[in-house]
Amino acid sequence: MCGLIGIIGKGLDMRKELIEGLEKLEYRGYDSAGIGYVENGQPVTQKTVGQVARLKEKLSSPIKAEMAIAHTRWATNGGVSLENCHPHISEGKTWMIVHNGIIENADELRAELEEKGVHFYGQTDTEVVANLLERTKFVDPIDSIREVLKKIKGSYAIVAINKNYLDRLFIIKNKSPLYFSYDEGSVRVASDTSVFSGKNFISLNDGEFGEINLNNFKLFNKNGKINKKETKLEKTEINRKNNSNYYMIDEIHETIDVFKRINCEYKDLKIFNKFDKLGAFDEIKLIGCGTAYHSCLIGKKYLEEAAMKEINCYIASEFNAEPPKLNKNMLCIFVSQSGETADTLLAVEKARAAGAKTLAITNVPYSTISKKCKAYLPICAGREVGVASTKAYSAQVVIFYMLACHIKGVAPSLKGLISGFKFPDEEKIRELAKKLIKKRELFLIGRGEDYRNMLEAGLKIREISLVNAVALPAGELKHGTLALIDEDAIAIVLQTSQKGMEKVKNTINEISSRGGKVVFVSQFDPPCEVYDSLKLCQVPQKFMPLSSVVTFQLLAFYMTLEKNLNPDKPRNLAKSVTVE
Ligand code: F6R
């Protein structure tokens, strides 16, 4: 949620560095973008509403500064406007800051400051922090930060410039990721390691703050000065195989490589060492948000067969709203591509507090969720930039399968999946997409596992193509929703097992006899006449959800292109939701 970056470096092309950094972070928010630096002793900002590309156009002349900060925003506190665009400068112009997260008590603090005569330009909580820093009047900025930390509540990753200390950046972190990395003659701090080019990076923990300069850094927590170890930076270059314009399509096409990577990485059974150390458990709960939650709905079946226990899945925010009974004999598995999702993180904290065993399944080994859980399994998906999660979903499902094999005591292998997996006919999908975008709503119908997979198909179509695609269990149609079916309705029916063929014929007839059109999606031929059909590739039955989900990811992608929308940057959304 929001991307931020701070850079110190001599002889850098600061304009280029900041824009390139923001472009890499833009998947975290694209409501507005801005940069800030000090020129002739005064803080200067340049900002635009909208995407980084607009800011790039605006910054025509080089930036003559050896230190600068920048931000790309996903609006939370305060609307999408120039006044609310970061960086924010304190009224007395001593502090300039960029911030990710939410200061929960900002309204109270703002009112106190206003009473003291502070004038605010926008509505953000960030401007409140800048003014709190200014008002402390300590000589040492670190003392000011320490003082402000006593007042603010909530989540924050902050990078700040104090105009009286032009050789250093000030950094503060709580419940929102923040890292820094040294490279030849420069240091960068950012909310994401993708902007780093050095060999190592340092990750801040909650409650830590300090200052960094070109040669050194000083970090503190509430107990005093702390030391930090560096982590090796894994290169996360994106595979732009097809030279396409969108990350999403490249990421879908990477799915097969991800399967191969998992197959290879999970040959080393040491990967399960920490999981094995968790010890015995008598219940399993699976927790995630959005797409990650949907992967739990598929993974549940593998684990139920392996552990011979019924397993419940929870949407993390619901788990937090009405926590189930938890105890030390339970295994709670938290699934998250980013490893930073605030709702999932809160659920981890609840499970830990109850003494439950915790396992993280994430794409980022050094993420907060990976670190907070006792054991960790990587999904090996490689960096995912498109806001709509695609290859990560497939990877999460496969990791559940690998874990289930491990629990059963059989060597995990993805042989049948890798050899049988083929991408569907994309021209055919595109033709269908052209017809579907004419509709405001779509009914996505399946039974059992097919229904659960339709939940993910629906999310994908809704979030990027803005068509209201709603998943329904086939048997439920006649219990209410059939009332909506008329000549204008289109339903997509997914059927991936031979077993339910008779029943699916009834479902198709229920829709067709009311004039509705049916698109049949299966590895089999339609059992009766339908409006259209899509053929799935045949993989072993247990992996069919992977064959079907990729088809729906492609359908969502082409529907979005046909509507002239950007699939990588869906309206109102951002990747990595680090606010509750
Ligand atoms: C949808 C999507 C979201 C995420 C959700 C959880 O395409 O990507 O629904 O799955 O925000 O994010 P992570 O997996 O990072 O916890």
pLDDT, residue 38, reads 96
Phi, psi for 185 (deg, rounded to 5): 70, 15
Q: How far apart are CA 56 and CA 54, in angstroms?
A: 5
CB 385 within 8 A of CB 495: no
Is the peptide bond preceding residue 177 cis, with omega within 30 degrees of 0? no
Structural domains in the chain, sorted by start: 3-232 (3.60.20.10), 247-420 (3.40.50.10490), 426-562 (3.40.50.10490)
Q: Separation of 336 CA from ligand 1 center, angstroms? A: 7
> What spatial distance separates the first Cα and last Cα of the chain, rounded to whole Å?
11
Does ligand 1 have an atom closer than 6 angstroms to the CB of 467?
Answer: no
Q: How far apart are CA 565 and CA 180, in angstroms?
A: 34
Does ligand 1 have an atom closer than 6 angstroms to the CB of 336?
Answer: yes
373 an active-site residue? no
Does ligand 1 have an atom closer than 6 angstroms to the CB of 389?
Answer: yes
pLDDT, residue 236, reads 61
pLDDT, residue 494, reads 98
pLDDT, residue 491, reads 97
- Residue located via tokens 């396409």: 244
Does ligand 1 have an atom closer than 6 angstroms to the CB of 577?
Answer: yes
Q: How far apart are CA 472 and CA 152, in angstroms?
A: 44
Q: What is the DSSP letter of 414?
A: -
Q: How far apart are CA 413 and CA 459, in angstroms?
A: 29
Beta strands in 246-282 (DSSP E): none
Does ligand 1 have an atom closer than 6 angstroms to the CB of 45?
Answer: no
2 an active-site residue? yes
Residue nearest (by alpha carbon) to ligand 1 atom 6: 289
Q: Is 224 left (phi over 0), alpha (psi -120 to 50) or beta?
A: left
The structure tokens listed for 351 are: 């499970």
pLDDT, residue 243, reads 61
Burial string for 425-442 (b: 16+ CB within 10 Å, else e) reads: ebeebbebbeebbebeeb
Side-chain-side CA neighbours of 511 within 13 Å: the count stands at 29
pLDDT, residue 178, reads 96
Q: What is the DSSP letter of 270?
A: G
Q: What is the pTM of this model?
A: 0.88
Q: Is 240 left (phi over 0), alpha (psi -120 to 50) or beta?
A: beta
Q: Separation of 117 CA from ligand 1 center, angstroms? A: 42
pLDDT, residue 578, reads 74
Q: How far is CA 379 from CA 55, 243, 282, 382, 538, in A?
A: 35, 25, 25, 8, 24
The structure tokens listed for 86 are: 């970061």
CA pseudo-torsion sign 163, 164, 165, 171: negative
Beta strands in 74-166 (DSSP E): 88-89, 95-103, 154-162
pLDDT, residue 350, reads 97
Q: How far is CA 162 from CA 93, 168, 479, in A?
A: 9, 8, 63
Q: How far apart are CA 543 and CA 421, in angstroms?
A: 9
Residue nearest (by alpha carbon) to ligand 1 atom 10: 291
pLDDT in tens, the chain (580 residues): 689 999 999 999 999 999 999 998 887 778 889 999 999 999 999 999 988 999 999 987 889 899 999 999 888 777 888 888 999 999 999 999 999 999 999 999 999 999 999 999 999 999 999 999 999 979 999 999 999 999 999 999 999 999 999 999 999 999 999 999 999 899 999 998 989 988 999 999 999 999 999 999 999 999 999 999 999 987 665 555 556 789 999 999 999 999 999 999 999 889 999 999 999 999 999 999 999 999 999 999 999 999 888 999 999 999 999 999 999 999 999 999 999 999 999 999 999 999 999 999 999 999 999 999 999 999 999 999 999 999 999 999 999 999 999 999 998 889 899 999 999 999 999 999 999 999 989 999 999 999 999 999 999 999 999 999 999 999 999 999 999 999 999 999 999 999 989 899 999 999 999 999 999 999 999 999 999 999 999 999 999 999 999 999 999 999 999 999 999 988 888 777 777 7
The DSSP secondary structure of 301-317, one letter per residue, reads HHHHHHHTS--EEEEHH
**Number of other residues whose CB lies within 10 A of the CB of residue 56:** 18
